[in-house]
Structure 1
């Protein structure tokens, strides 16, 4: 066994323990605490979408500084909705079984208020910068929560690691290389160039790109998935019954599926909810702090709708794999091939369509995360941070492009898990500063 394999095996053991015990407990307990404290605030906001938009439209805040709140919504969605929703969530089913979908719903619904809290604090404790915008996020409100300087620095370093979204980068390079027979080195170099160009434009350029790409991506993908579900409508009742029953009892081995327990279903469902929705990670707080609004609660409410969008896309991905039966048959496919195979049963030329689709979906997430990493690098060193981070990003994207997809995702889930641990500790310390209104 090579050193790389030993390294990833160690990461897998740590990942299983963390999400099976610590991460799972943190999301459920903290989400439940905020839900009860706020008197089910997320449901009240979801029922009043019109009022939320009206408040943002009437916002008079910083006209000459910051980014439009609605454009930031699409920047947020661009970071959340990507290949994690199309590929990453499928691994939850492959390991945890159909019941992982229920736990993804539970984690996301409770996670809405965790995201609300981190964005609220991100906007409240932000500072103006010399670029005509704002700096905020965990690095800034953690300074208010703790007197230990190392904690916000550690959060910034972890966000820099998380900001290089190697998992989705690997999927895009593999897909483009295999589908169009492109030279892999050329694909890696070209994609890195596009990422760096967009990230150097800051949150404003990110918001522009995501506002153009995300609406069409979401509508086309959801409609295609609904068509597949409709074409297999006779199986829907059985699939839903299996989903809910296995969520709390596990699932026996069937076909190419090795079987799972309740713990595996919960662990993988919650882990993928956190990863796909960036719950408690600090990404959204760092992006949303650039808003023009002077009211933290107005921007934070949009996170609830952004996470709802994330849930819908995740559910569509998992349902098409479940309803077509692909999750339980042999031979086992690559994680990136399940949704494409399910859609190809009903649409022609899906290998080419999904290659382009994966590029658009993954690219918005990669640039969103990298933009956050750039902001964090400036926090660590105003003079050298961005330069060092660009070198690190080029190295990490290139290096991990030659590893298996199922191994690379461990980098993201573990760094995200550690970020969530630190971030939630700060949110708990500052909970009296958060208003649900």
Structure 2
């Protein structure tokens, strides 16, 4: 198993960092270029829509507590389901890992990833609504595999299959095993602080049972649970972080200086936190940023495709908020707590001032240590947050993987897959090679990101066309996509080659 994870580490380093072993092959990783490049392209061609439409999107979310149009769950619950996948161990263990691998500067590149990611999130989620399908059983199905199939045509069916296989792999690694493993770490550490020895398998049994209760009811059950838990847990965690930050106000300016300095190498040049280069910060920040907010990866659109809405533009704007809330708010809170709380943390026979500098701590243990020093009962705050974050991520990713499995083999696989997913949740609690698991998760994320990025770029003209159409008229005619940026929709009854359902479409 160790040899497997060693190989996974080398492949992950190449994809995300451009290195193979001790040799640098590329200045930055392939995934870094694909992710930031795609987000930048959409940010520009959409006229910086994520920045201009951020506050109106919150209004659309509030009015979306009740659905309007066909779908299975309200726009509010669709975002909550997407957030259940986004807000997970990446917000706790992932942030700590980013700082450990890339220094405080990695947080800056998490912000950049999120900023560009909001544009990618708008594009992929609006496409998911535009090209979704309603199957004979009454359920809605959508996501990258469907906008590849219905937007690009039959000749690209292989790309849809490739995305689905990558998603299932990513779901098992990052949406299931890593989440279960991280909550197990927190439970064991919290128990140890009270002199209680909690075995991993016991955590696994409880977690698996709770997962089964929720996911056996499908997307409506998942959406209802996520719609109630996500707002509560996010607010509670933010309040706890704010308490720590208010009691450490004098350290906050220095934390921001470390983030900005580390991002551009100023800390190294000034003789500060030596050993963390700019490329290391970029690699760690982008990888952990994607792991946290999933923008451009293609997972969240599967949830947004189930929204009760007639408007892909509005749902796309609501989807942008998931990235903003996840990274710009929750991840930033975690990072600042880790960077401002001082203590005496064990490391290689001595002590260090900050938990992230300790060689004896990793992943969620760093976040737990910082909160324990920063407030009374901090370890239990992290345990509660970790448990809820991981639990909601596991149930959210179960739906993503299920949708991809049914796309490949048929709708009959839905319920059998739910039983298999319970085993994934249990098995993740027993894994001991945490670092290797994170690196394998990076590979899994890349395996679904690349097909999605290709599809997004090929359909970029469609996204711009219906976005401009909506901005101009306030409505979108049914079954109209637009094949280029300036195309106007045809009059009723005329051939529409941009509509995959029309006989004049090239894929027909």
TM-score, with structure 2 as normaliser: 0.79
- CA distance 1:215–1:427, shift in 2 (3 Å): same
Counterpart selection for 2:448 from 419, 422, 425: 419
State the partner residue of 2:78.
Answer: 72
State the structure with bigger RCO (CA 8 A, min sep 6), 1 or 2: 1
Q: Deviations over 1:251-275 (max 9, x none)?
A: 5499xx7721110101111111111
Which residues in structure 2 correspond to 1:212-361 (within 5 Å)?
212-249=228-265, 251-252=267-268, 259-311=275-327, 312-325=329-342, 326-327=354-355, 329-361=357-389
Tell me by how many angstroms 1:108 deviates: 0.4
Q: Deviations over 1:332-363 (max 9, x none)?
A: 31311122222222322333343233111110
Which residues in structure 2 correspond to 1:3-402 (within 5 Å)?
4-20=1-17, 21-49=29-57, 51-53=59-61, 56=64, 60-62=68-70, 65-143=71-149, 144-145=151-152, 147-164=155-172, 165-180=176-191, 181-249=197-265, 251-252=267-268, 259-311=275-327, 312-325=329-342, 326-327=354-355, 329-382=357-410, 385-386=413-414, 389-390=417-418, 392-394=420-422, 396-400=424-428, 401-402=430-431
- CA distance 1:324–1:50, shift in 2 (3 Å): closer
Is the radius of gyration larger for structure 1 or structure 2?
2
Q: C-alpha distance in 2, partners of 1:209/1:281?
A: 24
Decide whether the 8 Å contact of 1:45 with 1:52 is kept in 2: no
- CA distance 1:152–1:187, shift in 2 (3 Å): same
3-state SS of paired residue (1:345)? helix
Q: C-alpha distance in 1, partners of 2:158/2:376?
A: 54
Decide whether the 8 Å contact of 2:81 with 2:222 is kept in 1: yes
Q: C-alpha distance in 2, partners of 1:129/1:288?
A: 17
State the partner residue of 2:489.
Answer: none
Tell me by how many angstroms 1:331 deviates: 4.6
Q: Deviations over 1:176-203 (max 9, x none)?
A: 2443333322321332232233222121
TM-score, with structure 1 as normaliser: 0.92
Decide whether the 8 Å contact of 2:102 with 2:276 is kept in 1: yes
Decide whether the 8 Å contact of 2:304 with 2:319 is kept in 1: no
Q: C-alpha distance in 1, partners of 2:186/2:117?
A: 31
Q: Deviations over 1:146-189 (max 9, x none)?
A: 61432211211221122232111111123324433333223213
Which runs of 5 or more residues in structure 2 are unaligned?
18-28, 192-196, 343-353, 472-508
Which runs of 5 or more residues in structure 1 are unaligned?
none
- CA distance 1:319–1:48, shift in 2 (3 Å): same
- CA distance 1:377–1:328, shift in 2 (3 Å): closer
- The answer to whether residue 468 in structure 2 is matched with residue 429 in structure 1 is no
Q: C-alpha distance in 2, partners of 1:390/1:51?
A: 35
- CA distance 1:83–1:54, shift in 2 (3 Å): closer
Q: C-alpha distance in 1, partners of 2:324/2:420?
A: 33
- CA distance 1:138–1:247, shift in 2 (3 Å): same
- CA distance 1:278–1:330, shift in 2 (3 Å): closer
Tell me by how many angstroms 1:96 deviates: 0.3
Q: C-alpha distance in 1, partners of 2:86/2:54?
A: 18
Q: C-alpha distance in 2, partners of 1:91/1:409?
A: 9
Decide whether the 8 Å contact of 2:183 with 2:386 is kept in 1: yes
3-state SS of paired residue (1:279)? coil
- CA distance 1:93–1:133, shift in 2 (3 Å): same
Decide whether the 8 Å contact of 1:69 with 1:299 is kept in 2: yes
Instruction: Report how many aligned residue pairs link the two structures.
Output: 432
Q: C-alpha distance in 2, partners of 1:53/1:313?
A: 18
3-state SS of paired residue (1:317)? helix
Decide whether the 8 Å contact of 2:207 with 2:425 is kept in 1: no
Tell me by how many angstroms 1:407 deviates: 1.7
